[in-house]
Amino acid sequence: MNVSETPFDFVTASYLTRIGNQSAGTLAELLTGLEHCSDASIFHHTFQTLGTHHFLTEGFSNDFAQWTLSSTNRNDLAEQLATLDIRDYTSIAALRSDLCRVVRDFCAAQPQFASQSGLERFYFCESLEVTVHLGRSARNLDEFREGLQHLSHAGFYFHFISSRLRLQLQTNDFSHWLSASLGLRALADSINHIDVYTNTLDSARAKMLRLIDRERRKV
């Protein structure tokens, strides 16, 4: 069994939600908010919300899409916002740019809806991350499996989803370590292809454990 010189340190993160001073009652105001809100706010309503609503595996992608659907009843725009996949982004700036483009194009094409008031207001919030080490690390695949199995939802989310922004690569902490430290590129790729939108955090983890077990049987 491969042993890594660099251990995988399991970390967990807790998130505080900071309420911003911006809100939107119309699509035009949503666009203004998207243009001016902080990066932490874009992160909160896209990456973070996927973690806190991971159990919804159908029709829920991010807060902007959900508000557009439930409050303004614009299914067409909601669908476009929902199809922006956070796995395609390694920077908040790029994600913000696409969110703005989608809303701007819609408002330009259908100006009659841009200033129509929604049922409820949208409040821009921010995520503040607090991380702590769990005191558990792995140097081989067995130890890695053990740590993964016992990880909380927040810890799993931190390593599997929000890590994409930290790494600024099209991958996650798990895949990055498996590939770079244990040389298990195929396993790393398979894990990176687990769909975070159609899986809950639990089902994604179960798939990951099955992939690891298959790898262990090869040894």
Partner 1 sequence: MTEVLAANRIPLENYADVVGAGEIEELRALAKPLRGRSIEMINSTAVGGGVAEILNRLVPLAEELDLNIRWDVMKGAEEFFDVTKSFHNALHGEPYQAQPRDFEVFLSYNEQNRATLPLDAEFMVIHDPQPAALIDARQPGSNHWVWRCHIDLSHPNRAVWDFLEKFVSHYDGAMFSSPEFSRQLSIAQYLFYPAIDPLSEKNCPLEQEFIQQVLQRYQIDPQRPILTQISRFDRLKDPVGVIRAYRIVKRYFDCQLVLAGGSASDDPEGALVLKDVLRAAEHDPDIKILELPAWAPREVNALQCASTIVIQKSLREGFGLTVSEALWKKKPVVASAVGGIPAQIIHKHTGLLAHSVEGTAYQIRFLLSHPEIAAKLGEHGHEHVKENFLITQKLKRYLALFLMLDRRP
Residues in contact with partner 1 by the rule CB under 8 A: 12, 14-19, 21, 23, 52-56, 59-60, 66, 70, 119-121, 123, 125, 128, 130, 132-135, 150-155, 200
- Complex with partner 1: residue 101 or 136, whichever CB lies closer: 136
CB of 94 to partner 1, least distance (A): 26
CB of 176 to partner 1, least distance (A): 21
CB of 121 to partner 1, least distance (A): 7
- Cβ–Cβ < 8 Å for 205, 185: no
Radius of gyration of the chain (CA): 19
CB of 109 to partner 1, least distance (A): 25
Which of 63, 55, 12, 8 has the alpha carbon at shortest distance from 34? Answer: 63
CB of 100 to partner 1, least distance (A): 21
Angle at alpha carbon of residue 136, lines to 131 and 139, rounded to 5°: 120
**The token pair that represents 215 in the structure block:** 């790898």
- Complex with partner 1: residue 63 or 171, whichever CB lies closer: 63
- Complex with partner 1: residue 101 or 207, whichever CB lies closer: 207
**The token pair that represents 35 in the structure block:** 């243009």
- Complex with partner 1: residue 32 or 203, whichever CB lies closer: 203
Whose tokens are 């810890």? That residue is: 155
> 190-200 as b/e, with b when 16 or more CB fall inside 10 Å?
bbbebebbebe
Cα gap 36→212, rounded to integer Å: 43
- Complex with partner 1: residue 106 or 122, whichever CB lies closer: 122
